[in-house]
Structure 1
């Protein structure tokens, strides 16, 4: 039997990060930093644009701006530690900071799950209930739904984070670039089968049920679109959903790969590679997906640019 002294960590966890050569490390650091800064700039751009242009004062763009605000925090919970590990290699992190990071990451991730469901509901009401859309999706309802996603996300993450914090740990090197749930469970001295079942139930309820809800809504949307009289009207209706469906595919596809299976069923290095997709690349791609493919956003950019140009001319 292992004595109690060997069942706890000494002082800090060690984030392993990615194994890179001395030559590639500065390049990887600069590339990651550039993508991170572009992610922050892109999501801030969407928030400011929605606030600045009255043509985007619709429920759909309100929720897109909330998603961008969420992505600012979501990407910032993990990328600073990724940059640190790329620059310095293995990086120590205190247990308190590790579990705070775990809770923040889980909370924001679950909040995004719920928010994507709310955005699907918005598209369903706009396409399937157009005559009642503005009454059903009033400003008060928008604010209530947005607030509910944050409350639900931060409440749902309490159980996984608190249970992980109570585990005894024999090892301290986390095979990841941040404190993720599956990687921490591998360090425990005890059998984590019961914990994995609890995590699976909580995370499954938060993400799986929400994903089924989204699929149901898009099934109804597809039925309604197929009943439209012309190909042009069908294409226009689907175009308002295409960006959202792309984001859902990126986020859920990669997240389910990590959380729908047991931690021990994948190679240790796989989690951090998959996490790059939903924790880093998806927040980076969101502004691109919602702007470059959206005619209304491009027109709003032109209006705001013209307004700024006229102001500068008057100075």
Structure 2
């Protein structure tokens, strides 16, 4: 992790779009606007959940975790990308690059596991509504959240420390930030064990949670079909549609990126796929959950109404 096993290499050059100045200007504007929307949107979600007691439920507890996570994840990569757009030769030190790689990988895995937990919450809420508050009590919700963060740490940061990457003289990274796949491509040590470990961890953090989500939604679909009233079915589908939209966007790009053999993957595709799940998804999350959620819109209207009371 600290580069002691590497040679004199002390920095990397992140090429990204540096060879295309006009595209880099557009990219700068898009990333800057997206980052501001992520900060404002997710901060608003966090505030509304804290502010409105009607949102003090397991569903919104996990949503607040997701919003906090999105702010942290984007903040680990977006500022670096914005600064790089303003620099003729964007460089980053070895230690900073390795830290960014670990942090972004760790937070990305936390989101994978958290989305699976959120699907279980929706499954219990729709499949067993009468005992929902008992089955998803505060202690269990807190335990699930803690397990998510700890498990992600054990699956990402610990293996990175145990099997550190070594770098020789190849200091150019064809990416916008220090993403793990881009880092592996420039490492000079024998990587067969690292790649094997990545396949295992990707299966545990992508395929297994995604399969769990599919099973959960299969159970949800069965429960919805047993609801006799049309209004009840519509409400049940409405509560799940936001989460399912996020799952499709996030898991679709992440699985395509990390589960495709790297000798068949394109570096350009990898770069923009990482932007899709790393920038676009955190930006869309607050919009999806606010525009398609009556409770959140109600809390926002309540806040706006109180502010306008003389």
TM-score tier (shorter): over 0.9
Cα distance in 1 between the residues matched to 2:201 and 2:24: 37
Cα deviation 1:185-205 (Å, max 9, x = unaligned)? 111234533321111101211
CA distance 1:160–1:281, shift in 2 (3 Å): farther
**1:78-110 per-position Cα deviation (integer Å, ceiling 9, x unaligned):** 111111222214411111111111110111011
Alpha-carbon distance between aligned partners in 2 of 1:190 and 1:24, rounded to the nearest angstrom? 34
Instruction: Kindly indicate whether residue 108 of structure 2 is the aligned counterpart of residue 103 of structure 1.
Output: no
Q: CA deviation at 1:30?
A: 2.6
Matched, 1:166 2:165: yes
Structure 2: runs of 5+ lacking an equivalent: 1-5
* Residues 45 and 64 in structure 2, CA contact (< 8 A), matched pair in contact too: yes
Partners of 2:82 and 2:162 in 1: how far apart?
A: 28
Change in CA separation of 1:196 and 1:126 when aligned onto 2, cut-off 3 Å: same
2:242–2:292 Cα contact (<8 Å) kept: yes
SS of the residue corresponding to residue 187 of structure 2 reads coil
User: 1:14 matched to which residue of 2?
Assistant: 13
- Equivalent residue, structure 1, for 2:148: 149
109-118 or 41-50: bigger deviation: 109-118
Aligned to 2:35: 36
CA distance in 2, matches of 1:37, 1:116: 23
SS for the counterpart of 1:88 is coil
Q: Check conservation: 2:38, 2:282, Cα contact below 8 A.
A: yes
Rounded Cα–Cα distance in structure 1 between residues aligned with 2:201 and 2:193: 13
- Specify the alignment match of 2:3 in structure 1: none
- The match for 1:218 is 217
TM-score, length-scaled by structure 1:
0.91
1:269 is matched with 268
Distance in 1, Cα, partners of 2:158 & 2:180: 12
Distance 2:178 2:148 in 1: 23
The residue number in structure 1 matching 2:290 is 291
1:59 and 2:41 correspond: no
> 1:68 Cα shift?
0.2
2-structure distance, mates of 1:96, 1:10: 11
**In 2, Cα distance between equivalents of 1:36 and 1:49:** 20
Could you say what secondary structure the match of 2:13 adopts?
A: strand
Q: TM-score, normalised by structure 2?
A: 0.93
CA RMSD of aligned residues (A): 1.7
Distance 1:250 1:163, change over 3 A: farther
Displacement of 1:20: 5.5
Give distance in 2, aligned partners of 1:165 and 1:9.
16
129-138 vs 14-23, which deviates more?
A: 14-23
- TM-aligned CA deviation for residue 231 of structure 1: 2.4
Question: Take 1:9 and 1:269, find their aligned partners in 2: how far apart are those partners?
Answer: 29
User: What do the CA deviations read for 1:212-231 (whole angstroms, capped 9, x no partner)?
Assistant: 11111111111111111122
Report the Cα offset of residue 254 of structure 1: 0.5
The 5-angstrom pairing of residues 1-315 of structure 1 reads 8=7, 10-19=9-18, 21-162=20-161, 165-310=164-309, 313=310
- Segments of structure 1 that go 5 or more residues without pairing to the other structure are 1-6
Please list every run of at least 4 consecutive aligned residues from structure 1 whose deviation after the TM superposition is greater than 6 angstroms.
Answer: none
Aligned residues: 305
Structure 1 stretch displaced more, 36-45 or 163-172: 163-172
Q: Secondary structure at the match of 1:269?
A: helix
